[in-house]
């Protein structure tokens, strides 16, 4: 059985697939619906995208609040998640206004930048039975956990940050460097960035710890449609 990590990239969704026999595979899905095929022989798929959205509640999701708390201000890249109503807007201005009306918070440009992928995942999960197989994760939380609950020292987009994260992953997966080099050789940097590769690999390595994975919070909230958050 396989353990898969997925991260959004410029041309779709980059994924890393690992199994218990040290076999691995990488690829890019043009649409998240491509997960349907991967789900058939996988134990767990961890995706770096918000899953399960607030409707009209003013409170942020507890998983996002706790993730920011453990990572600290320097390493926290946990954007406020838009409400479900906001993800269906066609412009940033309208989405921000709708989000403010429903949650009391305007939408950040960073959050708007991934709205299309949030909507794509939201629509996909509404059509498939994937509650226990496709789960949300956050790469920096994965690195924190893999590093004995200590956040990374460097920004992930810097060379120092890339090296730091790859060294950590190599301690848990001895062939991590082979995966990264293969991905960089196969995909141009303007299609799949280095941090997309390292983030998807972190999610896949984390997934291999199933079923002993922890959650934030310890007892996950559940969205209206039943899926658990982070």
Q: Which two tokens stand for residue 173?
A: 């997966």
Contact 13, 7 (CB under 8 A): yes
The residue with greater pLDDT, 52 or 96, is 96
Q: Are residues 41 and 139 in the same domain?
A: yes
Q: Are residues 155 and 110 in the same domain?
A: no
Rounded to an integer, what distance in angstroms lies between the CA atom of residue 206 and that of residue 184? 21
Q: Are residues 121 and 81 in the same domain?
A: yes
Q: Are residues 120 and 159 in the same domain?
A: no
Mean pLDDT of 7-13: 98
pTM of the model: 0.94
Q: Are residues 66 and 177 in the same domain?
A: no
Q: Are residues 144 and 94 in the same domain?
A: no
Q: Are residues 100 and 197 in the same domain?
A: no
Contact 16, 187 (CB under 8 A): no
Task: Decide: helix, strand or coil at residue 206.
Answer: helix
Say what the pLDDT of residue 55 is: 81
Instruction: State CA 222 to chain mean position distance.
Output: 17
Q: How confident is the model at residue 75 (pLDDT cuts 50, 70, 90)?
A: low
pLDDT reading at 230 higher than 70 = no
Mean pLDDT of 180-207: 97
Task: Decide: helix, strand or coil at residue 8.
Answer: strand
Q: Are residues 72 and 164 in the same domain?
A: no
User: Is 227 part of a structural domain of the chain?
Assistant: no
User: Is 90 part of a structural domain of the chain?
Assistant: yes
Q: Are residues 71 and 121 in the same domain?
A: yes
pLDDT reading at 26 higher than 50 = yes
Say what the pLDDT of residue 229 is: 42
- Measured at the CA of 180, the angle between CA 178 and CA 185, to 5 degrees, comes to 95
Q: Are residues 202 and 138 in the same domain?
A: yes
Mean pLDDT of 36-50: 95
Asked if the bond preceding 138 is cis, omega within 30° of 0, the reply is no
Beta strands in the chain (DSSP E): 2-9, 12-19, 24-29, 42-48, 134-136
Number of structural domains found in the chain? 2
Q: How confident is the model at residue 226 (pLDDT cuts 50, 70, 90)?
A: very low
Look up residue 128 and give its DSSP letter: S
Task: Name residue, tokens 């507890």.
Answer: 62
User: Is 74 part of a structural domain of the chain?
Assistant: yes
pLDDT reading at 223 higher than 70 = no
The CATH number that applies at residue 44 is: 3.30.420
Asked if the bond preceding 28 is cis, omega within 30° of 0, the reply is no
User: Is 67 part of a structural domain of the chain?
Assistant: yes
Q: Which domain holds residue 167?
A: 2-51+132-207
* Cβ count near 186 (within 10 Å): 13
Mean pLDDT of 214-218: 92
User: Is 222 part of a structural domain of the chain?
Assistant: no
Say what the pLDDT of residue 220 is: 85
Average pLDDT over the chain reads 92
Q: Are residues 24 and 80 in the same domain?
A: no
Contact 119, 86 (CB under 8 A): no
Q: What is the pLDDT of residues 125-151, one digit of tens each?
A: 989 887 689 999 999 999 999 999 999
Q: Are residues 33 and 122 in the same domain?
A: no
């Amino acid at each position: 059985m396989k353990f898969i990590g997925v991260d959004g990239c410029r041309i779709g969704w980059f994924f890393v697939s690992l199994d218990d026999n040290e076999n691995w595979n990488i690829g890019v899905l043009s649409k998240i619906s491509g997960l349907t095929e991967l789900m058939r022989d996988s134990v767990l798929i961890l995706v770096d995208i918000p899953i399960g959205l607030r409707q009209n509640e003013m409170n942020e999701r507890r998983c996002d609040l706790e993730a920011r708390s453990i990572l600290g201000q320097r390493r926290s890249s946990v954007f406020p998640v838009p409400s479900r109503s906001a993800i269906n807007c066609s412009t940033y201005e309208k989405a921000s206004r709708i989000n403010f009306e429903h949650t009391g918070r305007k939408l950040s440009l960073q959050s708007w930048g991934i709205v299309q992928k949030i909507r794509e995942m939201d629509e996909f999960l509404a059509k498939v039975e994937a509650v226990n197989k496709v789960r949300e994760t956050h790469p920096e939380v994965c690195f924190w956990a893999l590093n004995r609950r200590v956040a990374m020292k460097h920004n992930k987009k810097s060379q120092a940050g890339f090296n730091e994260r790859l060294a950590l992953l190599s301690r848990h997966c001895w062939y991590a460097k082979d995966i990264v080099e293969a991905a960089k050789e196969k995909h141009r940097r303007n299609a799949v960035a280095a941090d997309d590769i390292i983030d998807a690999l972190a999610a896949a390595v984390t997934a291999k710890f199933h079923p002993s994975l922890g959650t934030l919070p310890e007892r996950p909230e559940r969205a209206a449609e039943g899926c658990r958050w982070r």
